[in-house]
Amino acid sequence: MMAGGGLKKYLPPVFAAGFLALYLGPAMAAPGDEENGEAIYAKRCLQCHGEDGDGLGPAAERLNPPPRDFTFGLYKFKSTPFDEDLPNDGDLLRMVRDGMPGTAMPGWSGLLNEQDMWDVIAYIKTFAELEGEPETQVDYGAQVATSAESIAAGKTLFHADDRCSECHGAEGKGDAIKKLKNDNGDRTWPRNLTKPWTFRASNDPKDVFNRITAGIPTTQMPSFADPKSKKKLSIEERWHVANYVTSLAKTEKVVRPANTVIQAARLEGEIPSSPEDPAWDAAPPSTFFMVPQIVGETRFFTAANDTLSVRALYNGDKIGLHLEWDDRTKSIPGDPKALSIADEDLTEDAVAVQFPVTLPAGMEKPYFLMGDAAKPVNLWRWSGGTTEEAESVAMIDAMGIAEQQMRDAGGLTAKSSYKAGTWRVVMTRPLITGAADQDLQFEEGRFIPIAFFAWDGSNGEAGSHHAMTTWYWLLLKPSASARPIIAAIAVTLLLGAILIWWGRSARTRAP
């Protein structure tokens, strides 16, 4: 009764504060009950952020990036100026409510109501004895609407003096070759700006403007509003750069969860052997999420690669697969430059395509992680090579993660290119090898299970430590050119029949 009444008294100002914080982001301290916040914290946040708010909860060890240490009172995604440590409560509410994509920090809107969120925010602020409201707010000036001119101006500023490209790379894929650590000594990676679904906040120009203005505290991402910065940008310039960053988002090669079938297009000529050949554009790309391999021993939680795009072409004899994925580092064991930015033992970058050995009759597929004794799989595995050895491709027969046999690649070929943070690999194989007991024999018009694996050598990925997809389907679409001919013949026959009928009935109608 009492608690209910107390809560009711609070509701109107809380809603008002929440509303304003969400839509205006003002420096408004929301009323939060620390005691209730402590209880919620113990139940929902402690396992990651730790009992003392130091980011050392029991689950923290496996997380990359690690959970925030609240005892410093420093937050990454704030809309207050670079020289103001205190975030707005609205900034914290947003991260707690929506979560932080690309990290383990979940969004809590489904489990906590808004009052609970204000309460837990009041509690986490006590770890650093944060009080009161920030004195200054970010000056947005007049937002510059996006346009071709603004994007072009932003692109120039992004590259001038290597301002952003120094860390985010020539095409914004976060592949600039530098080893970055946050204030805590943990390895951090500049964001791949072409993948907005990995942004902790968003790639809306206003959010990007905020990041450029305030920087990302505790990381190496600096403020470009700091008058002491040699690379300082005016308000207008920051809007141009923000518009440019927003324009970098991939639109074609994005994951469309409804798309589970890779359509292989039939080609009359040769399968293009170069990954950069524009002929690959004839096949539509399908993009899939990859997840860390956490089901088989030994498990691995912190895989670096997160998506892979594939295109497929085939002709009378061969199938060709074009694989493309962003990898910030070209990992060449033996190369001093590659070694200097690697995290752990440097291994080769690699990718593999998995097929069942025999096409299943129905929708039954082999176990997704390298098959089993009853349903073996083939892995076509490409490795990037070292300073001593060239790139290579191998055929692996697998009956589970512990049962792998490498054999002669037969007619399997692979060729790669690495450019501005993106690997592209083309693999080809004859459709029919004649050895149906060990190789998949491709057939037109059948749904063929297919799955993918990728290893980032600079992240110490090798063996069972990798990223992977679940099974998808590959479909060799029967020649499109045959269909219009059949349709044309059918129409001709139909027209003929109608004419004959018309002629006959005209004759009977005639007086």
Residues that bind ligand HEC (CB under 6 A): 44-45, 47-49, 59, 63, 65, 67-68, 75-77, 92, 95-96, 100, 103-106, 108, 120, 124, 163-164, 166-168, 180, 188, 190-191, 193, 199-201, 207-208, 211-212, 216, 219-221, 224, 241, 245
Least distance in angstroms from the C-beta of 289 to ligand HEC: 18
3-state secondary structure 259-293: CCEEEEEECCCCCCCCCCCHHHHHCCCEEEECEEC
Residue 175 or residue 348: which is nearer to ligand HEC going by CB? 175
Nearest-10 crossing angle of helices 89-98, 114-126: 120
Bond before 511 cis per omega within 30 degrees:
no
Residue 32 or residue 190: which is nearer to ligand HEC going by CB? 190
Residue 224 or residue 452: which is nearer to ligand HEC going by CB? 224
Residue 247 or residue 305: which is nearer to ligand HEC going by CB? 247
Counted residue by residue, the chain has a size of: 511
Residue 67 or residue 292: which is nearer to ligand HEC going by CB? 67
Residue 26 or residue 107: which is nearer to ligand HEC going by CB? 107
Least distance in angstroms from the C-beta of 108 to ligand HEC: 5
Least distance in angstroms from the C-beta of 165 to ligand HEC: 8
Least distance in angstroms from the C-beta of 175 to ligand HEC: 12
Other beta carbons less than 10 A from residue 340's beta carbon: 11
Distance CA 245, CA 511 (A): 79
Rg (CA), the chain: 28
Distance CA 53, CA 312 (A): 50
Q: Which letter does DSSP use for residue 422 in this model?
A: E
Distance CA 133, CA 50 (A): 26
Least distance in angstroms from the C-beta of 193 to ligand HEC: 6
Least distance in angstroms from the C-beta of 196 to ligand HEC: 9
- CB neighbours of 65 closer than 8 A, spacing ≥ 6? 103, 182, 186, 188
Run of H or E residues at 38? helix 34-44
Name the 3-class secondary structure at 462: coil
Residue 119 or residue 324: which is nearer to ligand HEC going by CB? 119
Run of H or E residues at 492? helix 482-509
Distance CA 175, CA 170 (A): 8
Distance CA 367, CA 471 (A): 9
Residue 205 or residue 366: which is nearer to ligand HEC going by CB? 205
Least distance in angstroms from the C-beta of 220 to ligand HEC: 4
Least distance in angstroms from the C-beta of 114 to ligand HEC: 13
What would the DSSP string read from start to end of 342-355?
-SSS----EEEEEE
Neighbouring-strand partners of residue 349: none
Residue 369 in tokens:
């992680």
Name the 3-class secondary structure at 187: strand
Distance CA 324, CA 35 (A): 51
Residue 233 or residue 399: which is nearer to ligand HEC going by CB? 233
Least distance in angstroms from the C-beta of 437 to ligand HEC: 46
Least distance in angstroms from the C-beta of 162 to ligand HEC: 8
Run of H or E residues at 463? none
Residue 49 or residue 318: which is nearer to ligand HEC going by CB? 49
